[in-house]
Amino acid sequence: MKFWWLAWKDLLLVVRDKKAFLTLILMPLLLIAILGSAFGNIMKENEDITIKKFTLGVVNFDQGQLSKVLTEEVFSKSLSKQIQVKYYQEDDLYKKIKDHKLTVGIVIEKDFTQSLMTGKGTKVKLLSVPDTNINTTIVQTVIEQFSRSVPIEAVVAQMAQPVQAGNPSGIVQKGYGKKPLLKETSIDAKTKLVSSFQYYAAAMSVMFLLMTVVQGVSTMILEKEQDVFQRLLLTNLTYPNYLLGKMLGLIIICLTQAFIIISGTKLLFGVDWGPSIPGIVIMTFAFVVNASGLGVLAGSLINKEQSFNVAGMFGTQIMAALGGSMAPLYVFPDWVVSVTKFLPNGLALQTYLELMSGASLSKILPAVAASMGLGMLFFAIGLIRLSLERRGKYA
Amino acid sequence: MKMLTVQDLRKSFGNLEAVKGVSFTVEKGESFGLLGPNGAGKSTTINMITGLFAPTSGEIRIKNIDVIKYPKQAQKWLGVVPQEIALYQAMSARENLKFWGRMYDLSGNELEKSVDQVLEIIGLTERAKDKIETFSGGMKRRVNIGAAILHRPELLIMDEPTVGIDPQSRNHIIETVKRLNSEGMTIIYTSHYMEEVEYLCERVGIVDHGELIASGTLSELRETIGNHSRIILTIDKETAHVEKITQTLLGIFSKKDIQIQDHQVMVFHKEPQLILSDFIQSMTKTGTKITSVDIVEPNLESVFLHLTGRNLRD
C-alpha cells in the first residue's frame, strides 16, 4: 500500500499548488473555447452552403469515351472552378468518404459509354456521407444534365456519319428519360461528421492531459534531485512501489482533469462526445495509462529537471503537432495518421473522433488494448531502468 | 555488541578518492562522532553506511548484516537525518511525519501514537498542523530529525543536523539527541562543530582528506596532544616577522608544539601558566605587537589543529 500513500502525497501537493491546480483545470476549458470559436467556420458541418471548391473522387471502370468526357471535359475543365477531380481505386474512395476526407464520389461502371449510346440503363454510383450537402447535389445535377445531353449529341454524331445499323432516333427513344442513371449510395449511415468544436475539444483534452503528465514527471525528476528521494530510498519503499505510486498519482490527476474537461465541454459548450459513454471513459483511462507509463519511463531515464524541461517541452509540442492537436488530422497524409497511432495522444484523439462519429465500445477495444499495453510496457521499461541505475550507483 | 562495523572503506568518484580506507566500529548504545572540516569525506562515508552509495571497496555491517549485499535488511535498523531538509514543504509537520511513518510500514494507532510522541520529542506539538514552509530553519531541522526516529531505529545517523540554525534550535536538537541516546539509541553524529561532538559523543573519529586520522574517546584524543592547553597570541600582522618569531620560539619550545597561522601564534603546553610570561617576552623581543592572549583548554579543535595544522572551520 506504500505506493498509494506516495500517490496520495503527490495529489495533496498538486491540490495545494493553487497555480498548478488552476492551470490544470481552467486553461484547457479556456483554450478549447477559444480554438473552437476560431476554427468554427472552417469545419462547420454546413460549410458547403457557400459552395467552395471541392474534390470529387472518381472510380472509372469504363473504357469508353463518354466517361472520359464526363470526368475530363465536364467535371475537370468546365467546372474546374468548383470541382477538382481525383481518381481512386474503389476501396480507397469508399474509405475516403467514410473518413470524411471527401464529401462526394462517383463510381462509373464498365459499360457506361456503351449503355449510354445504346440507351440501355446504366448506373453511376453516387457516394456521399449521409448528411447530403451541396457538393452531392452539384454532382448529381451535372450527371443528370449530362445524361440528357448525351442522346442529342449521339444523334448529331450519328447523322454526321454513315448509317451503320438501326434507327438513330431509337437512342433517344430508349434514352435516359426512361431509366435513371444515378444510384445514390450512403456510406456507413451510422457515422457522423465531427464538428470543429468536437474536434478541438478532443484534441485539446489530449494535449492538456499530455502536458499534465509532463508537469507530473517534472516534479518526479525534481524530487529525484532533492534529498527527499534519497530519504525515500532509505525507507522500506521498493522501486516497483515507488514507480507505481508515481504512476498512480499521475493517473488520478489526469483522470480528474479529463473528467472536468469532458464534462465541462459537454455542459458549458454542448460538445457531443458521442453516444458511447463507456467508450469515452475506458478510452480516457487507457490513454491516461499510456501517457503516464511514458511519463514514468521518461522520469526514470532523466535525472536533471532542467534537461527534462527542455526535452519535455520539445517532445510535447512535437507529439501534440503530430497527434493532431494543433492542425486537424484530416490535413495529414494517411501514412502519417497511421504512424501517429503509436503516439499515446495520436491514438487517443483518433479513437475519440471515432467515438464522436458514433463508434461503439466494441469497435474501439483494439485501440484501448493497444493503449493499455503500451502504458504497461513503458512502466516495465522504466522499472528495469531504475533498478539498473540502483545497481550501478547505489549499494 | 557491535552495532556498526566499517572496514577499510573506500570510495572514488572518477580520479578523486573521496574516502581512503576508513575503519571504525560503533557499539550498541554508544554515541560516536565523526568530526572533520567540510569536504573531508564524512557525508560520503555516511552515504555508504546507509546504503545510498556503493563503496568502491571495503565492508560495512549493521548488526552483522552486510549493507552492501542486503541494504534493505540493514536499513530496517537505521534512521537517517540528512544534511539537507528532506521534507515536503507544502505539507504540515504532522502530514510529513505520517507520510514518512507510512514509508516505514507504520499504520493505524501505532502510527498516530508514534507521530504524537515524535512531535513531543521535537517540541512541535503546538505547530503540528502548520505547513513546513512556514517554519524557521531550526524548526524544519527538528521535523527533519523527527521523520528519522518515527520507527524507533536502533541506529540513528545524523549528518550535520545543526547547520545554519539559531542557537535556541541548536540547543533543542542537541538535547533531543542526548535524550535519544540516553534511551538506548545508538547515535552516529557528524559535524564540523567540535563543541557539539564533544558534548554529545563518547567516542570520536576525526576525518580529514578522506582518511580517519584519529579515533578514540575524548580523553584518548586529548592524550594525542599530551593533554596540552593552547596559548594563542593574536598579533599585528604588519609588525610580525615570521622567520624571526619561528627562530625565537624554536629556542624555547619543540617544533611540534608551535603553530603559526596568519595573525596567530600558538604554543601547546601542559601547564600554560608556567610559560606564558616567557612566551610573551620572547615575542615582544622580536618586535611583534601582541593584540590579545588566550589560553584554550585541550579540546578536539586543538587535536585537529595539532594533527592537520589547520582549523576545523578552515
pLDDT less than 70: residues of chain A: 35-52, 119-123, 130-133, 148-193, 390-395
Residue B49's closest chain A neighbor by CA? A395
Check: CB of residue B295 under 8 Å from CB of residue B275: no
Check: CB of residue B143 under 8 Å from CB of residue B161: no
| pLDDT given for residue A179 in this prediction | 46
> What confidence tens digit (pLDDT) does each residue in A343-386 have?
888 899 989 988 988 888 888 999 999 999 999 999 999 998 88
Across the interface, do B51 and A234 touch by the CB < 8 Å criterion? yes
**Using a CB-CB distance cutoff of 8 angstroms, which residues of chain A are in contact with residue B88?**
9, 13, 228
Q: What is the pLDDT along chain B (314 residues), one digit of tens a residue?
A: 899 999 999 999 888 899 999 999 999 999 999 988 888 888 899 999 998 888 999 999 999 999 988 888 899 899 999 988 999 999 999 999 999 999 999 999 999 999 999 999 999 999 999 999 999 999 999 999 999 999 999 999 999 888 888 888 889 899 999 999 999 999 999 988 888 888 999 999 999 999 999 899 988 888 877 778 888 888 887 777 788 888 888 888 888 888 888 788 888 888 888 888 888 888 888 888 888 998 888 788 888 887 877 766 55
Q: Is B58 on the interface with A (CB under 8 A)?
A: no
Cα-based distances in Å from B121 to A121, B104, B125, B178: 99, 19, 9, 11
- For residue B314, the distance in angstroms to the closest alpha carbon of chain A comes to 26
Which of A166, A100, A87, A160 is CA-nearest to residue A130? Answer: A100
CATH architecture of the domain A54-178 equals 3-Layer(aba) Sandwich (3.40)
| pLDDT given for residue A386 in this prediction | 83
Across the interface, do B75 and A235 touch by the CB < 8 Å criterion? yes
Residues 6+ apart with CB under 8 A from A370: A341, A347
Across the interface, do B87 and A228 touch by the CB < 8 Å criterion? yes
Between CA A126 and CA A58 the distance in angstroms is 10
Which one of B68, B82, B102 has the shortest CB-CB distance to A227? B82
Q: How is chain A split into domains, by residue range?
A: 2-45+193-394, 54-178
| pLDDT given for residue A185 in this prediction | 57
Cα-based distances in Å from A340 to A99, A268, A320, A351: 16, 30, 10, 12
End-to-end CA distance of chain A: 25
| pLDDT given for residue A162 in this prediction | 42
**Using a CB-CB distance cutoff of 8 angstroms, which residues of chain A are in contact with residue B111?**
none
**Using a CB-CB distance cutoff of 8 angstroms, which residues of chain A are in contact with residue B76?**
236
Which one of B68, B80, B105 has the shortest CB-CB distance to A234? B80
Check: CB of residue A71 under 8 Å from CB of residue A58: yes
| pLDDT given for residue A130 in this prediction | 63
ipTM: 0.81
CB pairs under 8 A between A and B: 72
Which one of A234, A236, A238 has the shortest CB-CB distance to B52? A234
Q: Determine if the pTM surpasses 0.80.
A: no
| pLDDT given for residue A41 in this prediction | 52
| pLDDT given for residue B128 in this prediction | 95
Residue A237's closest chain B neighbor by CA? B103
| pLDDT given for residue B278 in this prediction | 85
Q: Is B129 on the interface with A (CB under 8 A)?
A: no
- For residue A232, the distance in angstroms to the closest alpha carbon of chain B comes to 8
- For residue A219, the distance in angstroms to the closest alpha carbon of chain B comes to 12
The vertex-B200 CA angle with B197 and B205, nearest 5°, equals 45
Looking at residue A194, the DSSP 8-state letter turns out to be P
Which of B225, B236, B230 is CA-nearest to residue B295? Answer: B230
SS3 of residue B11 by DSSP: strand
Interface test with A, best of B52, B144, B151, B156 (most A CBs within 10 A): B52
CA atoms within 13 Å, Cβ hemisphere of B286: 25
- Backbone phi, then psi, for B27, in 5-degree steps? -85, 160
- For residue B81, the distance in angstroms to the closest alpha carbon of chain A comes to 9
> What confidence tens digit (pLDDT) does each residue in A248-296 have?
999 999 999 899 888 888 887 788 888 889 999 999 999 999 999 999 9
